[in-house]
Amino acid sequence: MSTLATVPALQPARLEETLLRFAALSEPGPGVSRLAYTRLERQAHDLFASLLADLGIASYTDAAGNTIGELAPDAEPRPGAIGTGSHLDSVPHGGAYDGTVGVVAALAVAAAASAGRPRHRPWRFVAFAAEEGARFGQACNGSRIVAGLTGAADLRQLTDRTGTTMAAAMTECGLAPERVETARWDPRDWRAFVELHVEQGTVLEHRRVPVGVVDTVSGSTRLRVCLTGVASHTGGTPMDNRRDALAAAAECVLDCERLAVAATDVNTRITVGALTVEPGAITIIPGRVVFTVDVRETDYGRQRAAAHAVGQRCRTVAARRGVDVEVEELADTPPVSLSREVAAAARAAATALGLPAEVLSSGASHDTQQISRLMPAGIVFVPSRGGLSHSPGEFSTADQVAAGAAVLLETMYRLDATA
């Protein structure tokens, strides 16, 4: 590996220490719980801004809650910024690496670039808000806003389990949801964006490759299914005279799994991740069940077909069991092909550092998926132990993160030097 490995900002121990500082900002319990548009997410953004300030880099928080710092060029200037970063929110009881690795790597790059080779373009460092869809159903909210894909009206429609709208949650955090249009990025201000992220899969680990370069990011269609039967006494209601919403839901859940397993493409993934049963008492037949479905694919036609099939299966089951059903689409994000130019720069950077790199797709959504609509954009992966993510067991070694940060830095220098 080149002398980049000796840059103090890229040392594994320093990266690990910063990761631990962010991990400490969590609700009690296993793993990291730092949900979108909460006090803890804002504290994490404040820490990011403070660490940038320690490097002499000023930052600001936009109306969407994204935090952005900029390092001015120190050589003959060229137009268009080079950006990097990721998100700081988590799912409930998630891990310390998803998203945060990319933010910590951005801080390391900022430190290294401040005392490194000349830069011709502004370099921007971004902590996106509300990337996870765990709270409001829609993912990548901060990046969707800057890409012009989500507006103020949408924020009043998205709600969490308590009925709190995203707009209300943002207001409670001191943000200005009515002004989110001011957070949009002008593509003319940008040259490229590259994000470092943990793989959230096992390809790199199994192949013993230290770096992944992503060519495609899966799309996601998210559904909410509501089944309404009749709540009745478990002892007094004969088995042949029941309209059991939970029994119908159980069949629907298994049908979702069967659809994915039977799909012709291995990239079709269908998951039921949350299920609520009412009234929820041991002596009452469930009268209402609500569950969510996440359909993922690397081909948009197959993604939409799979989501349609889920709805059809649920309606068929409901009709046969005598329960009512509503299928609501919460969010729909098509898959994207990322920039070949950025991918080539990342592969060349890895080669220059003596690190083998594997080209692979991402089954998970990322902020870069939205940013790619504005500018050339790419993602660099580092390995995830056992492929675990959205789990307290999520883990990448400090050496793996350091290798990824070194590739990120070199990639940005290569993009900075291009016309």
Per-residue pLDDT of the chain (419 residues; tens, 9 = 90+): 444 556 888 999 999 999 999 999 999 999 999 999 999 999 999 999 999 999 999 999 999 999 999 999 998 999 999 999 999 999 999 999 999 999 999 999 999 999 889 999 999 999 999 999 999 989 999 999 999 999 999 999 999 989 999 999 999 999 999 999 999 999 999 999 999 999 999 999 999 999 999 999 999 999 999 999 999 999 999 999 999 999 999 999 999 999 999 998 888 999 999 999 999 999 999 999 999 999 999 999 999 999 999 999 999 999 999 999 999 999 898 999 999 999 999 999 999 999 999 999 998 889 999 999 999 999 999 999 999 999 999 999 999 999 999 999 999 999 999 87
Q: Which residues contact 306 (CB under 8 A, 6 or more apart)?
A: 221, 259, 260, 263, 268, 270, 295, 297
DSSP bridge pairs for 297: 219
Decide if 306 contacts 293 (C-beta within 8 A): no
Three-state DSSP at 72 gives coil
User: Which candidate, 405, 406, 380, places its Cα nearest to that of 199?
Assistant: 380
* pTM (2 d.p.): 0.87
Integer Cα distance of 343 and 378 in angstroms: 6
DSSP bridge pairs for 201: none
Tell me, what's the pLDDT at 295? Answer: 97
Encoded amino acid at 40, one letter: L
User: Which candidate, 115, 107, 180, 176, places its Cα nearest to that of 144?
Assistant: 180
Integer Cα distance of 111 and 105 in angstroms: 10
DSSP bridge pairs for 360: 214
Q: At what angle do helices 340-352 and 398-417 cross, to 10 degrees?
A: 120
The answer for 275, left when phi > 0, alpha when psi is -120 to 50, beta otherwise, is beta
Outline where DSSP puts E strands in 108-253: 123-128, 190-198, 211-217, 219-228
Number of H helices, E strands in the chain: 12, 13
Three-state DSSP at 321 gives helix
User: Which candidate, 158, 101, 164, places its Cα nearest to that of 133?
Assistant: 158
DSSP bridge pairs for 11: none
Give, in order, the Cα–Cα distances in Å from 394 to each of 11, 61, 286: 21, 29, 35
DSSP string across 2-59: -GGGG-GGG-HHHHHHHHHHHHTSS-SSSSB---TTSHHHHHHHHHHHHHHHHTT--E
Tell me, what's the pLDDT at 265? Answer: 81
